[in-house]
Each structure stands twice: as structure tokens, then as C-alpha cells.
A and B are shown apart, each in its own frame.
Chain A
Amino acid sequence: MKRFIGFIKKEFYHIFRDKRSLFILFGMPIAQILLFGFAITNEINNVDIAILDHSKDATTKEIINKIAASKYFSIKQMITREAGIASVFQKGQVKAVLNFEKDFSKNLIKDHKATVQIITDATDPNTANTITNYVNAILQQYQKELNKDITIAYQIVPETRMVYNPELKSVYMFVPGVMTIILMLVSAMMTSISITREKELGTMEILLVSPLKPFQVIIGKVLPYIFLSIINALVIVMLSIFIFNMPVQGSLFLLGLESVLFIISALALGILISTISSTQQTAMMISLMGLMLPVILLSGFIFPISSMPLPLQIISNIIPAKWFIIILKGIMLKGVGLQYIWKETLILLGMTVFFIALSVKKYKIRLE
């Protein structure tokens, strides 16, 4: 046991004396969370729009006021002619133009129907879509107010309600993903690099000739990273709670347990990578290409799995990160307990056991 403690102490010296690994360990998680939280966002705020109002009557003015009052849009200019629409888009001054037809109020009263055209700049389709939805929502709201006193039979008003993330805050979606990436990175990449480093330097040979047992060497290398990964997970959750006001609905304890499970599966992958690579560079490349890319692309973190082609959907099942993200979203956003995510947990557990068994086997073969 004493041997073991000395070993772990040495491992911490390595980590704390290497600026690069310190940066990856602590700089990266914070930078990523802040980046994803502040910069990369699906929300719209103060989007510049232009208005072409052919009627200029009481109703259109009211609607325009409502739009101007919302924090989502700011009215950049009023256009007077149809030809102006193309020109404002080309100059890139606005993202959308609202075109009210002539005699808007009159039509509304006479025909119970009036038209407003929403023209959006779809070079950025996501934003265009979001803008359309937001404008629609404002119009619906206004319509409802108008019809307050009148009852029209058989009117179907679709009412959408976003649950679990009612404000559509993108940071809520990113936190589970970023947490998964960081834990994968720290656990798998850092351990595989630190083990191959000992191989490269020739110290691994010395350790294997010493009375330390091979599994003690590996556990000794891995334990500090488990510890640091847990700290990282804590930092990420703290940042999301205190900086982005993201509520954690479910049990923090369960969140912790699931995180430890995922960390262990990532560590086992890291050991596996270290057994097949002989240099630190190789270990890093395999970790990045073999782990990071699938985690980013196929885990459902950025691209929804349900809209992927079938073969990719099938492949996504073997990626531990996919299951961990489902678990995280369940606990953090939906506040569910183990009874709702036991299947995912079981899959993750199975994968972890499989990776550990495989890396132990590989490691033994290498010793021969």
C-alpha cells in the first residue's frame, strides 16, 4: 500500500509540473463551457429586421410595436418599396423583412383574413427558422388578444410548448455534451498519453521489473486521473449552475455516480489505446480520431441521432458517450431518477466491464 501511495504522488508531480497537461486538465473545461455557453448559441437576441408596411394603419402599428418591444428583434429600418427588400438583404443589414399587405386592417375586418409576409435570409437556415417561429409566436399572441371577446367555432389553435428547456437555452443542451467530451478527453487521452510516455522513456520497463504488480502500475497511473476527472465534472456542474443558472433537476448524487461510471469506461479505453500505441503521438492521434470525433459527431451532442442515416444510427449505439449524454440530460434537465435511465446505465456498465476486460487481456499479451 505504501508503494502505491508513493506511486500516486509521483503521478501528481508529473501532472502538476507539465504546463500542457495542466492546461488540458483545467483550462480546457472552463474555456469550453464558457465558449459553448456564451458564443455558440441557437437563441436569437436583438436580431435586426426591416419592415415594409403598405397599409400603415392601427393594426399594423400595433403589431410592429409588439415586435419592437420584444427582446428578440430590433427594427433596423422601414422600407417603402418592394425593391428595397432585395437591397437590404444584399447589404446584409437585416436578417428578416416583414411585409404587411395593403389595407391590412380593412381586410382583417372584412374578410377576417389579412396577410403578412415573413421573408428571412436563409443563408443561415437555423436562424431563419428560429426567426420565423418567433415572429409567428408574436402574431399568434396578438391574434389571440384580438379574438378575446369573439368566439369563433371550430378554430384550431396549435399551441406549442417546449418542455424541459422552456426557454430553449442552448447552454442547457451543450452542458451535457461538453461534460461528456471533457471527461472523455481527460480520462482517455490523458491516461493513454501518460502510460505511453512511460513506455517511450523506458521507465515502464523499470516499473515492470520492480516488485510492483502490472495491475498496480496501471491502477496507480489511472487513479489520479479518476480523481481529477471527478473534480472536472464538479467544476463543470458548478459553472453551469452558477454562471448559466442551469438547474440540475435530478439527484446530484446519482449524477456523480453515473459520471464515475463513465469516467471508468473512458479510462479503460485509455488503457486499451496505450496498449496498442508505442509513442505519445500515436496515443494522442488515436484518442482524438478514435474517441473525440465519434463523441462529437455521433453521440447526439451536436447532431440529433434520429435524423442520421440508419447505418450511422446503428453505429452510434456502440459509442458510450451517446448513453452518457442521454443519462445526463435525463438527470440534469428532466430530473428523472434511476428508474427511467436504468437501461442506459446498464448498457454503459456493460461497456465499461467489456473495455476493462479487453484492456486487461491486451495488457497481459503485451507483457509476454
Chain B
Amino acid sequence: MNNNKVIQVKSLTKMFGDFTAVDAITFDIEKGEIFGFLGANGAGKTTAMKMLIGISKPTSGEAKVAGFDVYKQTEDIKKNIGYMSQKFALYDDLTVKENITFFGGIYGLSRKKIKEKSEALIEELGLEKVANQLVGALPLGWKQKLSFSVSLIHDPKIVFLDEPTGGVDPITRRQFWEMIYKAAHQGTTVFVTTHYMDEAEYCDRVSIMVNGKIEALDTPKKLKEQFKAANMNDVFLKLARG
């Protein structure tokens, strides 16, 4: 097994009754890569992602995440990945510090480590003044950034981001992608789904899912050449419209 390949997926399939939600998808993702996982609503992105993060069992096919099997080693997978969902998912009625402590705690970090992490994180995000305020009172953009940092608290090998920038203003979106780059630079693999095609341009490689199948997979530059399109938006429209 190639140690640089942190995600290996081969013919992964998920059926719900007669309906094939994910149809034999195959791809590899390398360490430190930012992998854009695109597709229209209902194309099967979320289902595919759920299989990779170990909360949904595949119907057939193979997949290894961080070197662990998605059928048998979901517990090991969970320890090695971070996850941020499209629904904002910190606790509104806990303070910034309490949220960090809680999530650090469920990933089994020591008290000392949590303290270090939370101080570093608060400083990095410039949240010193609101550290003891309830998260519910923060603006959405701050919450989102905090949520991303929290998903990285246990230094996971891979972080899965499910439409992380939904409903966020362009400036915050920009800052958010800077954080993603920083994480990738430090060796964290980033698996991100998005509906914003300008964000797709920021990814190292992009896959586009249509009706459960991966129809295209390459760097944004090569995809644009292949589909003779000016930007990723056109690539996506050409594919998704069939």
C-alpha cells in the first residue's frame, strides 16, 4: 500500500432498495491534497461521504480511509478524521471555551493538551474577547471558522468538510479558504464538498458526481481544457446537464 494515499476508494457502491445512490465510484486521494467533491443536489455526494466517515455501511466495493477499512475499522477511522457538516454544529448554549473543551474531550485529548490547543486556537482566530461568551451570540462567519478549527482539534489525518461555506459572506469565505490552505500545508488532507464553483478552482483536484457516478476527476486546469470551458462553472454545467 502506498503510504501517501490516505483515501483509496474502489468500486464503492451504496444501494437503498432498488435505488443506486452511489454507483461504483473509484478514486485515490493523496496526503495533503485538497480534494473538491462536487455534484448537484441528490447526486450522491453526502451518501458517499457518509460511507467514508464510517457512519454508513457500503453495499459493495472497497474503501480505505487513513489506512483503515470502512467495513471493519470504522472506530479507527473516526479517531483519525475530522468532520464539519453543512449544518452549523457547535453548541449555541456553550461558551467558545466550553465548546473547544468538549470536543477536545470527546476525542480523548488530555486536559493539558486541551488547554494548550484552546489557547492557541482562540488566539489564532482572534476570539480572546469572546472566549467566555456563548457561541450563539457570535456572527455566523466566526462560528464557521471556529467550527472548522474545532474539527481539527485532534490533528486528524483527513478532514471532511460538507459544504462548509454555505451562507457565509465572500470575505469570510476567503478567510475560510486561507484556513483550509494552511491546514493542507501542514499535511492535513482536505475532502470538501461545495456548490461554489469559484471554490472548486481553489482545489488541487476536483471530482464531479452525476447520478451516483464520478463523471470527471482531475485538476481544475485539466478539466477546463478537457471540457473546453472558461471556468469550473461551465465544466459543471456541461456535465450536470449531460
Contact = CB atoms under 8 A, between A and B. Distances in A.
Give the size category of A's interface with B. Answer: 20 to 34
Given A13-B94, A202-B89, A209-B78, A368 B108 contact: no
B44 interface: no
A211 B103 CA distance: 11
A208 B55 CA distance: 7
B230 interface: no
B196 interface: no
Nearest to B93: A17
A367 interface: yes
Contact of A205 (B78, B89, B94, B134): B89
Contacts of A202: 85-89
Contacts of A6: 101-102, 105-106
Interface residues of B, number: 30
A202 B88 CA distance: 7
A208 B87 CA distance: 14
A201 B75 CA distance: 24
Given A10-B98, A13-B98, A210 B106 contact: yes
A212 B92 CA distance: 21
Contacts of B108: 2-3, 211
Given A6-B106, A211-B75, A368-B56, A14 B93 contact: yes
Given A202-B88, A209-B81, A210-B78, A3 B106 contact: yes
B79 A211 contact: yes
Contacts, number: 75
Interface in A3-45: 3, 5-7, 9-10, 13-14, 17-18
B53 interface: yes
Contacts of B79: 211
A49 B53 CA distance: 77
Interface string A194-226: 000000011101111111110000000000000
A12 to B, nearest CB: 11
B106 A207 contact: yes
A201 B87 contact: yes
Contacts of B87: 201-202, 205
B105 A2 contact: yes
Interface in A300-351: none
Contacts of A203: 89-91
Q: Chain B binding site: helix, strand, loop or mixed by DSSP?
A: loop
A367 B54 CA distance: 10
A215 to B, nearest CB: 13
Interface in B29-77: 53-57, 75
B202 interface: no
A207 B83 CA distance: 10
Interface string B85-124: 1111111111000100111011110000000000000000
A3 B105 contact: yes
B53 A209 contact: yes
Given A3-B106, A211-B75, A211-B79, A368 B57 contact: yes
A206 B89 contact: yes
Contacts of B91: 10, 13-14, 201, 203
Contacts of B86: 202
B162 to A, nearest CB: 9
A209 B55 contact: yes
A207 to B, nearest CB: 7
A209 B102 contact: no
A5 B85 CA distance: 25
Nearest to A5: B105
Given A2-B105, A10-B102, A202-B87, A209 B54 contact: yes
Nearest to A214: B55
A2 B104 CA distance: 11
B94 to A, nearest CB: 6
A203 B79 CA distance: 17
A187 to B, nearest CB: 21
26 contacts: A2-B108, A3-B105, A3-B106, A3-B107, A5-B105, A6-B106, A7-B102, A7-B106, A10-B98, A13-B94, A17-B93, A18-B93, A201-B87, A201-B88, A201-B92, A202-B88, A202-B89, A203-B89, A203-B91, A206-B89, A207-B106, A209-B55, A211-B78, A211-B107, A367-B55, A368-B57
Given A7-B102, A201-B92, A209-B83, 5 more contacts: A6-B106, A14-B94, A201-B91, A207-B106, A209-B55
Top 3 closest pairs, chain A to chain B, by CB: A202-B87, A6-B105, A209-B83
